[in-house]
Amino acid sequence: MERFDQIASRYRQTSLVQASAGAKLIELLDIPQSADILDVGCGTGNLTAELAKRTTGEVTGIDPSGEMVRVASEAFSNQRTSFVKMDAEGIAFREEFDIVYCNSAFQWFRNPARFLDNARTALRPGGRIGIQAPARHDYCPAFIAAIETCSENPEIGKVFSGFRPPWFFLETENEYRSLFEQAGFRVLFCTIEESRSLRTPQQAFDVFCSGARAGYLDPACYNGEWPEGFEAAFLDGIHQAFERQADNDGMIDLMFHRIFIVAER
Ligand SMILES: C[S@@+](CC[C@H](N)C(=O)[O-])C[C@H]1O[C@@H](n2cnc3c(N)ncnc32)[C@H](O)[C@@H]1O
């Protein structure tokens, strides 16, 4: 998965908002002491390592990005923690885990329903799945405003008009709940939250680069031409747009709509 290979080296430093939402998801899951855990879309493994602190069982992180898996393995592989290159749609475990954890990755899945079927099969009876992901088309108003500002530049706007988002967002808690129920889960907790933090323009840019960038700068997401220099011009435009969004104290209110779901097999 090339789009994530490119951001793997800096992901641990830039994934500020994923880390805080991921910590909250760990709390919500109330992990049993010896649970075996599958971390789907584990990235560089920061949260996989946190999960390993909560159990005496085995923790497996999977991710389709070879670079993410390499960085995670180098930092966190040990007797109880391992990382495998595998995508959510290709999970082939059967009743091997007590917990399936999936933080800030679900929105990227090409086939969320297939993932949920796979996750259910991978769980032991009574096992739990916990997912946190950005939700709603206006998942982060500051990002959307920055894209709009950036697209006012005619050169960027022309290319950007061919952009087809790779993300999967639902608009309501009920839609998320139904998806899980259709896969045979009993939903225990389901809420879309507004999670806010004050960030400098540079931090907002780093957060943008830790996730959204991988979609906005994937040539496969564009119908039309992809001229040389587009990536640099686009990133420069986003950076400047964040500078302009800062308030008198130099800060941006970075708000994400986030779905948190915990469900039981
Ligand atoms: C923003 S990172 C989140 C990483 C980590 N879970 C965290 O919260 O820090 C999103 C991850 O989802 C992975 N991903 C994208 N598509 C995926 C798929 N179809 N199956 C599993 N993981 C996928 C990416 O490779 C990337 O590492």
pLDDT averaged over 10-residue windows placed end to end, the chain, 265 residues: 80 85 97 98 97 98 96 97 98 97 97 98 98 97 97 94 94 98 98 96 95 92 89 96 97 97 98
Q: What is the CATH number of the domain that holds 82?
A: 3.40.50.150
Q: Which atom of ligand 1 is nearest to the CA of 65?
A: 25
The pick from 104, 114, 116, 132 for probing ligand 1's pocket by mutation, whose C-beta has the most ligand atoms within 8 angstroms, reads 104
| Domain range enclosing 58 | 2-264
In the chain, what is the greatest distance between 2 CA atoms, to the nearest angstrom?
A: 56
Task: Count how many Cα atoms sit within 13 Å of the Cα of residue 137 in the half-sphere of its side chain.
Answer: 1
| Backbone phi, psi, residue 165, to 5° | -60, 140
Q: Which atom of ligand 1 is nearest to the CA of 22?
A: 8
The pick from 13, 37, 42 for probing ligand 1's pocket by mutation, whose C-beta has the most ligand atoms within 8 angstroms, reads 42
Q: DSSP string of 125-142?
A: EEEEEEEEEE-STTS-HH
- Helix segments in the chain, DSSP class H: 2-5, 8-14, 16-29, 46-53, 66-76, 112-122, 141-151, 154-160, 173-182, 201-209, 212-216, 230-245
pLDDT at 201: 97
Is the Cβ–Cβ distance between 29 and 130 less than 8 Å? yes
* Whether the CB of 22 sits within 6 Å of ligand 1: yes
Burial class (CB in 10 A: 0-12, 13-18, 19+), 204: buried
Q: How far is the CA of 105 from the centre of ligand 1 (A)?
A: 4
Is the Cβ–Cβ distance between 35 and 7 less than 8 Å? no
Give the pairing type, strands 123-134 and 97-103: parallel
Q: How far is the CA of 188 from the centre of ligand 1 (A)?
A: 24
pLDDT at 1: 63
Give the pairing type, strands 123-134 and 252-264: antiparallel
* Whether the CB of 61 sits within 6 Å of ligand 1: no
Q: Any idea what DSSP says for residue 222? A: B
Q: Which atom of ligand 1 is nearest to the CA of 68?
A: 27
pLDDT at 5: 87
* Whether the CB of 105 sits within 6 Å of ligand 1: yes
Query: Over 63-101, what HEC string results?
Result: ECCHHHHHHHHHHHCCCCEEEEECCHHHCCCCCCEEEEE
Q: Which atom of ligand 1 is nearest to the CA of 109?
A: 19
Name the domain count of the chain: 1
| Backbone phi, psi, residue 150, to 5° | -60, -35
Burial class (CB in 10 A: 0-12, 13-18, 19+), 210: buried
